[in-house]
Structure 1
Amino acid sequence: MLCTTLAPALAQSGPAGQVPPAAVGPAFPIATDARLAGDSRQTRFVLDLDRTVPFRAFLLGDPYRVVVDLPQVSFHLPTGAGSGGRGLVKAFRYGLVMPGGSRIVFDLTGPARIANSTVLDAANGQPTRMVLELEEVDEATFARSIGTDGRTPSGQADSTASPAAPGGVVPPAVRPPPTTVAVAVPPSGGAPDSRPVVVIDPGHGGIDYGTQGGEVPEKNLVLAFGQALRDRLERSGKYRVVMTRDDDTFIPLGDRVRIAQKQSAALFVSIHADALPRGEGTAQGATIYTLADKASDVEAERLAEAENRADQIGGVNLTEEPADVADILFDLARRETRTFSNRFARLLMNDMKTAVHMHKRPLKSAGFRVLKAPDVPSVLVELGYVSNKGDMGNLVSEAWRSRTADAMARSIDVFLAKRVANAGAERADKPAAARAKP
């Protein structure tokens, strides 16, 4: 069943979602093995490839990380690759970070520098190899090196050049560019599409797997559900539905918010699946979260902190994130948006509990970055716990997804019908109000 119901979400997955070589187009290089060697003073990483690729390696701090950007690569590494570390590397993860670009992120045990980064051509029966060598350094040396590229020896492929993927796409140096969304354009001369826009945000993606409670990582589970909800809403014809991601691509949190704002969305629904750390008991059922400056409970705070680390996991540099605007009008809009978000959350809870099992405390709030659009009502739905066998069984069930998507669609219908009606009434009142002015 997993193969049929989750197939669209499995392409370009990392360790927990391998794709057979036959399912991947021939245009992309294939990585077949990865290994670490060395000790806490010097550590080497080697990636076996079926052809030479350009790449770029650089450092990020807080926490200590090394990021390697490559053209889009099909990762066919052994199960569990990257989950353990050696020497200066605690662990590493890999995956698609944008169309045409892949990324490997290394979590370091302490400050280090990139001593060497190069590609060795295939020779003597050995495959092409990407080699990254790290050396232990002090804090000051590390701080001076943050964001700078590793260099390659003369005569080797230059890893500091901008690596162009097939089709000329260049992987990002520090962060992917703001995501653009394909929007249906009305026929020439036709009226603009005035239907409310609903943005569906399947969490995680690409290099960010989310939680993993079984054979299928969270990023694949929530993408499959997001696609089911999109299809259900589009069948009604009432809405224009935009997905923040419709494939296994990493999208930074800020870009997800900007997509909703750029589309003047009437509603933003972020889809996730939680997991309790091992040894912290069991929990079951769906939970709906809204934005709050202070978390409603300890579990909500834990979850928000975990979800807000997505950009860190993807190796995104957050130094360019804009500061909050301290403005009265902005604050008023934000308060109104939170009121609408809470109203929708209650509607959603009432509809979902008729169709699915809900958490014992189904409504919670915390400081989720992805819910911070000041002008778009937003909720984050945790469909269940991948750490719970019953919830995991639901998450991979096509019948459960269909039933839950129907319940969510009913809530969206009720919520947006009221908002559209109110907006129409306000427009109708404006001419009369204008005439009444002296």
Structure 2
Amino acid sequence: MASRANHRVLLGCALVCAAAFLCSDETFVGAAEGQPSTPVAAASFPIASDARVAGDSKRTRFVLDLDKTIKFHAFALADPYRVVVDIPQVSFQLAAGTGTAARGLIKAFRYGLVMPGGSRIVFDLTGPARIANSYVLDAANGQPPRLVLELEEADRTTFVQSLAAESRPELRPAITDAKAAMEEAIAVPKPAAPADLRPVVVIDPGHGGIDNGTQASGESEKNLVLGFALALRDRIEKNGKYRVVLTRTDDTFIPLADRVRIARNQSAALFVSIHADALPRHEGDAQGATIYTLSDRASDAEAERLAEAENKADAIGGVNLTEEPTEVADILIDLAQRETRTFSNRFARLLMGEMKSTVRMHKHPLKSAGFKVLKAPDVPSVLIELGYVSNKGDLEHLVSENWRSRTVGSMAQAIDAFFAKRLATAGPAN
């Protein structure tokens, strides 16, 4: 324990402030759609009721119907070609399948909450295109307020020049003011709270917001794993032994680097990332839960495929919300990671031992790969794939309250066993 504390001092970590949108005349504060929101009710968020695309490969128009006018910021990204539209938090009430069909310059688009107070629409383009026009129309002639985006075909040179003019915007000009305000608020001294010496367990429900994860039979991975994570938190908190932190408690997009930062800023003693995999149709069928630990070299082709898919989460969100952390010398990270990986592997084995008596496990239940979300150098971390949403039997389990209760119970027992062994090894002084 003492050596791990030294690693934390050497490595250090900067507290990252999540910046909120400053938009319109309102400040949107609170949880995502469907979650309690303290000062502002969910009903106050603008509603997007319909979205449509028209045009051809030369010029394409996107129209979003709203119940009130909003401010927005649109910009393009290259490699791959995308257009991103950032808007205040919106309640998307669009028909199922909206955004999946290709039309003109747009291959597909996705939408969702990208951080508290802000939503995002990301357009995947067929090639380079410039934003010819973008505006919001007031309600008129029986039509609701509308956000309109007009795209025009462009060559690569013109496209790159338009990016240079934008100077690669991070989010939007208002973000600087929002960040400064939050930093000022954090700087105000607060009364010291009694020290909570309980081990911190960080539970990380994968995906969220604009990133749905895998989907099948009307179920989205982001919703399945959030429900599971909330149930696991409640079970762990019952005995009062641990302090539990979730990387997200609602349908919010959290960049991978921020998930790692949350664990490090909380001085977490354990980080558990929850997911549910799916195989493409041409790759056959697979079933059962799998537990992954970090490795520079994937244990097999399937582990490598999954890590590559999961590591693209930030790209799915459109653009990273934060910069990558700057760490100190590689040698210090390597020293910390050696010990951390030992603890991670130990927990993975304990978890497999507990889960196999209550949960159907994959034929190769312990694997490793280069998951970005497991790369905290000083926090033991595992990623659990609860099952395959592409498998009918696994999907039935994933939506079953009884299955969830049994699985949560076995995971809670593994966490107890992990800390019992560590505390016994550390001795009473630690």
With the shorter chain as reference, the TM-score category is: 0.7 to 0.9
Which residue type is aligned with residue 273 of structure 1?
Answer: A
1:276 is aligned to 2:279: yes
Q: Secondary structure at the match of 2:141?
A: coil
- The correspondence for 2:126, drawn from 86, 105, 109, is 109
Which residue type is aligned with residue 409 of structure 1?
Answer: A
Which residue type is aligned with residue 134 of structure 2?
Answer: S
1:30 is aligned to 2:44: no
- CA shift, 1:59, in A, is 1.2
Q: Aligned Cα RMSD in Å?
A: 2.7
- CA shift, 1:413, in A, is 0.6
Report if the CA contact (8 A) 2:32-2:113 is conserved.
Answer: no
- CA shift, 1:122, in A, is 1.1
After superposition, what is the alpha-carbon deviation per residue over 1:228-280, rounded to whole angstroms, capped at 9, x for unaligned? 10000000100000000000000000000000000000000000000000121
Separation (CA, whole Å) in 1 of partners of 2:165 and 2:248: 30
- CA shift, 1:423, in A, is 2.8
Which residue type is aligned with residue 288 of structure 2?
Answer: G
After superposition, what is the alpha-carbon deviation per residue over 1:383-409, rounded to whole angstroms, capped at 9, x for unaligned? 000011111111111111111011001
Separation (CA, whole Å) in 2 of partners of 1:111 and 1:327: 38
Matches within 5 A, 1:212-361: 212-317=215-320, 320-322=323-325, 325-361=328-364
Deviates more, 1:91-100 or 1:312-321: 312-321
Which residue type is aligned with residue 69 of structure 1?
Answer: D
- The correspondence for 1:141, drawn from 158, 163, 179, is 158
Report if the CA contact (8 A) 2:32-2:116 is conserved.
Answer: no
Which residue type is aligned with residue 253 of structure 2?
Answer: F
Deviates more, 1:53-62 or 1:220-229: 53-62
Which residue type is aligned with residue 142 of structure 1?
Answer: F
Separation (CA, whole Å) in 2 of partners of 1:68 and 1:147: 18
Separation (CA, whole Å) in 2 of partners of 1:417 and 1:84: 52
TM, length-normalised to structure 2: 0.84
Q: Residues 52 and 97 from structure 1, CA distance in 2 versus in 1: closer, same or farther, beyond 3 angstroms?
A: same
Paired residue total: 385
Misfit runs of 4+, over 4 Å: 147-150, 159-164, 323-326
Report if the CA contact (8 A) 2:32-2:252 is conserved.
Answer: no
- CA shift, 1:42, in A, is 1.2
Separation (CA, whole Å) in 2 of partners of 1:370 and 1:28: 31
Which residue type is aligned with residue 107 of structure 1?
Answer: D
Q: Secondary structure at the match of 1:228?
A: helix
Q: Name the structure 2 match of 1:69.
A: 86
Which residue type is aligned with residue 47 of structure 2?
Answer: I
- CA shift, 1:142, in A, is 1.9
Which residue type is aligned with residue 268 of structure 2?
Answer: A
Q: Secondary structure at the match of 2:215?
A: coil
Separation (CA, whole Å) in 1 of partners of 2:173 and 2:270: 41
1:375 is aligned to 2:392: no
After superposition, what is the alpha-carbon deviation per residue over 1:149-178, rounded to whole angstroms, capped at 9, x for unaligned? 69xxxxxxxx977499xxxx97x9xxxx99
Report if the CA contact (8 A) 2:255-2:320 is conserved.
Answer: no
Q: Name the structure 2 match of 1:132.
A: 149
Which residue type is aligned with residue 391 of structure 1?
Answer: D
Separation (CA, whole Å) in 1 of partners of 2:342 and 2:409: 24
Q: Secondary structure at the match of 1:299?
A: helix
Report if the CA contact (8 A) 1:55-1:160 is conserved.
Answer: no
Q: Secondary structure at the match of 1:26?
A: helix
- CA shift, 1:327, in A, is 2.8
- CA shift, 1:127, in A, is 1.1
Q: Residues 147 and 304 from structure 1, CA distance in 2 versus in 1: closer, same or farther, beyond 3 angstroms?
A: farther
Separation (CA, whole Å) in 1 of partners of 2:152 and 2:123: 14
TM, length-normalised to structure 1: 0.83
1:407 is aligned to 2:410: yes
1:394 is aligned to 2:394: no
1:46 is aligned to 2:49: no
Report if the CA contact (8 A) 2:293-2:345 is conserved.
Answer: yes
Which residue type is aligned with residue 319 of structure 2?
Answer: V
Q: Name the structure 2 match of 1:82.
A: 99
